[in-house]
Amino acid sequence: MKKDQSLAQGDPAGFQTAEAQAGSHAHRLNSLRAAVLGANDGIVSTASLITGVAAAQASHEAILTSGLAGLVAGALSMAAGEYVSVRSQADIEAADLRMEQRSLKRNSGEELEELVEIYVERGLSHDLAEQVAQQLTRHDALDAHARDELGISLHNRARPVQAALPADRIAAALGLTASELGLENHAASAFSAGVSFAFVPVRDMKAVGRARPVTSAWAAAFGDLLGAFVYCREVTSNTRHFHARMFAPGAGIVEDPATGAAAAAFAGVIAKFDQPPGGSHRYVIEQGFEMGRPSMIGLEIDMDGGDAAAVRISGDAVIVGRGSLDV
């Protein structure tokens, strides 16, 4: 695509994102695949069903009823089929990534040389290939090996939930574009530690900052979930792990600066998508920065057999008011 200054707006780093939003559908492949295949199968199967019923000289009511029944059954069947199909692909990718991550820890030197050889085969000189491999490894070793060795993009992996439910609805409820949703292998999910929340991963802190609740589209995206916890890995300090905001317009909370219930349920997100090994793991979630009320919430997870066996949250209290009650 020809570079357009109206897209770049003086921000070269943001040009690729703007270009994708303006003309690329790569970020919507899962949704488009489900929509196209579903529409194709739905039209053919429903039309065949109606034709068969009509050929039996049934009444108009019977034809209409059979058509509606076929449409609903077909939609549910396609959604389930797409989920199972993409879930299988996602499981294979996740297994490959876990193997690669273990290899990076145990054989970092050999993995670096392997990356150098890949770039040499693609036409770079050995010296330049070594510089590229070293810089990419320092930035994100797993991402570099996933993309160039395994052919897996951490930012466009198979997402079964997205295949069954297009991201456009969630994006509309948060005032974002579909291309801003998703983080590595993370997809929108729902977990509860007593109160149910939707957890929506986005690509960076800029997307978190742009998020806002759109009440007219909220129910269609999140149903009866209490709120939406929007998060990314980009943080304001390297001592923290996630940057987040929480919206719950249905409960009268436009935005909350610190949500302990959501932080506790976030353990389910980490266990499902990051799959930390057995043992105790500690994370720090920063929240409320966009409100001018920065909060740090500690989250400790005890992992056992791939599941979160115990979860603890912590944080510091700040006095926002004081008074006395005379009895």
What's 197's domain CATH number? Answer: 3.10.310.10
Residues 171 and 286 in one domain: yes
> Which of 42, 62, 92 delimits the end of a domain?
92
> Residue 13 — pLDDT band, cuts 50, 70, 90?
very low
- Per-residue pLDDT, 7: 42
Residue with tokens 């090994």: 277
Question: Which span out of 11-25, 147-161, 246-260 was modeled with the highest average pLDDT?
Answer: 246-260
Q: Which amino acid is at 158?
A: A
Residues 177 and 298 in one domain: yes
Would you say residue 81 lies in a domain? Answer: yes
Q: What is the pLDDT of residues 200-219, one digit of tens each?
A: 999 999 999 999 999 999 98
Number of helices (H) and strands (E) in the chain: give both, helices first.
11, 8
Would you say residue 107 lies in a domain? Answer: no
Task: Quote the CA–CA distance of 267 and 79 in Å, as a whole number.
Answer: 27
Residues 307 and 219 in one domain: yes
Instruction: Kindly state the tokens that stand for 214.
Output: 């759109």
Residues 86 and 172 in one domain: no
Residues 171 and 44 in one domain: no
> Counting beta carbons within 10 angstroms of the beta carbon of residue 176, is it exposed (0 to 12), middle (13 to 18) or buried (19 or more)?
buried
Q: Are 4 and 48 in contact (CB under 8 A)?
A: no
Would you say residue 159 lies in a domain? Answer: no
- Per-residue pLDDT, 159: 52
Q: Is the whole-model pTM more than 0.75?
A: no
Would you say residue 22 lies in a domain? Answer: yes
Would you say residue 226 lies in a domain? Answer: yes
Residues 181 and 70 in one domain: no
> Which of 92, 115, 142 delimits the end of a domain?
92
- Please name the residues in contact with 265: beta carbons below 8 A apart, sequence gap of 6 or more: 191, 192, 193, 195, 196, 197, 199, 229
Residues 185 and 62 in one domain: no
- Per-residue pLDDT, 78: 67
Instruction: Kindly state the tokens that stand for 123.
Output: 């036409």
> Counting beta carbons within 10 angstroms of the beta carbon of residue 32, is it exposed (0 to 12), middle (13 to 18) or buried (19 or more)?
middle
> Which of 76, 92, 108 delimits the end of a domain?
92
What is the longest distance spanned by two Cα atoms in the chain? 84
Residues 189 and 69 in one domain: no
Instruction: Kindly state the tokens that stand for 181.
Output: 């949703």
Residues 186 and 277 in one domain: yes
198 sits in which H/E element: strand 196-201
Task: Quote the CA–CA distance of 218 and 237 in Å, as a whole number.
Answer: 31
- Per-residue pLDDT, 34: 58
Task: Quote the CA–CA distance of 102 and 108 in Å, as a whole number.
Answer: 10
Residues 173 and 77 in one domain: no
Would you say residue 113 lies in a domain? Answer: no
Would you say residue 207 lies in a domain? Answer: yes
Residues 82 and 209 in one domain: no
Domain, as residue range, for 282: 167-314
Would you say residue 154 lies in a domain? Answer: no
Q: How many domains does the chain have?
A: 2
What single-letter DSSP state applies at residue 223? T
Tell whether the model's pLDDT for residue 230 goes beyond 80: yes
The CA-atom distances, in angstroms, between 300 and each of 48, 192, 245, 287 are 55, 16, 19, 17
Average pLDDT over residues 287-299: 96
Residues 211 and 297 in one domain: yes
